[in-house]
Amino acid sequence: MSGPSRGEASPDAPRSIAWRISLHLAALFSVAGVHLPFFSVWLQSRGMSPTEISLILSSGILLRLFVGPLAAQVVDRNGRRREAVMLCAWFSLAFYALLGSVEGFWAILAVWLLHTTAWAPIVPFSENITLLASARYNLQYGRLRLWGSLSFLVSAYLAGLWLKGRDDSWIYILIFTALLLLALCSHLLPDLRLPLNRPRMVGAPALRLLRNPLFLAFLGANACLQATHAMFYTFGTLHWRSQGLSDAQIGFLWAEGVLAEVILFALGQRVAQRVGGVGLLLLAAAGGMIRWSMTAVTGDFTVLVALNALHAATFGCAHLGAMRLLADGVDADASATAQSLYTAANSALLAAGTLAVGPLFAAYGGFGYLAMLPLSLCGGLCAALLWRRRAGLRFSGGAIEQSARI
């Protein structure tokens, strides 16, 4: 096990690093907490049509598929993860500042793509630093990551309260403020680098990983499991409204799912030790088969409360399982690339699922949730391919310094 990097050698370093990473993750997910529910509303207030809004958001997702892995190749070679997050955060803020001063679809699209280019590496690099710190300083990944989920929940709720009765221009101000907070908090991240005497692997990290069939099965499992949320993320609120649920009940269901996820992250180490990373993926697949099949056919609030608690399985177990497998099965000098490929694969299939559920919801309403079952099944089958090798599963010949405590 390698020692702390420069500036991180004091006896209190693990505790200090834990709260610094937690603050950064809280700032990171505060951006998402405002952006996801309200950014499309701001675009509409700027005169964008539904088709133009869809094109702007989907183009950003597609761009992230390429930018993240390409940036990760550079970071895995020079090891400057903290500097990369800081640089991307400030550029992301600068381009977002420019977004508020442009008019018209093409100008907004161009600036949005610049912002997305800077934003794309931030989430996977932040997750990668969290995994490396968990391994190096014997921290629990789930205990660090739960602050991101809590921040998302609080930010979305407080933003909704603040925006009630106010002009939509406040959405831009809130997102800008969250991005500024993220840029400042990025300086809190620890500077984690590989030991200087450690031999580096030969060849591009992405090519080494993508030639490994087990890593491809890993990507397939997680992409399918995360894509099962496409219907829920896109039309969950509209579907529940059509079934007569009040906005208060709907808000409770969304909050409950995040809280279930937070509880899993807090207790994740015990679960991961019992079933392992592959076992967590299989639990996510089983949870998806139950959750989506029942959500398609029921509008009873009490039943939906029970079903929505399964977000801890469908999202939480899938994410924790992926992080454990990345920690155990990837060399440190390929870890940023592996994290970015994981994020890109998830984004690609989720984007495709988001496009597909529109016609499904228009034609079949809530029964469109049944289309999520094949994705859960496919994710479970890919995870089953990894089951026989679960004890010593390796994607690039080694682990991230030591197995992270998920």
Mean pLDDT, the chain, integer: 85
Structure tokens at 356: 């597909």
Residue 397, pLDDT score: 54
Domain extents in the chain: 14-191, 203-406
The mean pLDDT value for 82-91 works out to: 96
The mean pLDDT value for 79-98 works out to: 94
Residue 367, pLDDT score: 94
Residue 51, pLDDT score: 72
What is the four-CA torsion angle of 353, 178, 190, 118, rounded to 10 degrees?
60
Contacts of 217 (CB under 8 A, 6+ apart): 382, 383, 385, 386
The mean pLDDT value for 68-83 works out to: 83
Q: State pLDDT tens for residues 2-60.
A: 344 444 444 457 888 999 999 999 999 999 888 877 887 788 889 988 778 777 877 88
Residue 5, pLDDT score: 44
Q: In the predicted model, is pLDDT for residue 406 greater than 70?
A: no
Residue 204, pLDDT score: 64
**Residue 248's CB: how many other CB atoms inside 10 A?**
8
Contact 281, 379 (CB under 8 A): yes
**Is 14-191's fold the same as 203-406's?**
yes
Quick one: how far is CA 167 from the chain centroid? 30
Residue 1, pLDDT score: 35
Q: Does domain 14-191 sit in CATH 2.40.30.10?
A: no
Residue 383, pLDDT score: 94
Q: Does domain 203-406 sit in CATH 1.20.1250.20?
A: yes
Categorise residue 103: left if φ over 0, alpha if ψ from -120 to 50, beta otherwise: beta
Q: State pLDDT tens for residues 133-188.
A: 888 888 888 889 889 989 988 888 888 788 878 888 999 999 999 999 999 999 99
DSSP states of 149-213: HHHHHHHHHHHHHHHTTS-THHHHHHHHHHHHHHHHHGGGS------TTSPPPSS-HHHHHHT-H
Q: State pLDDT tens for residues 253-284.
A: 888 888 898 899 888 778 878 888 999 999 99
DSSP 296: T
Residue 57, pLDDT score: 78
Q: In the predicted model, is pLDDT for residue 392 greater than 80?
A: no
Residue 351, pLDDT score: 81
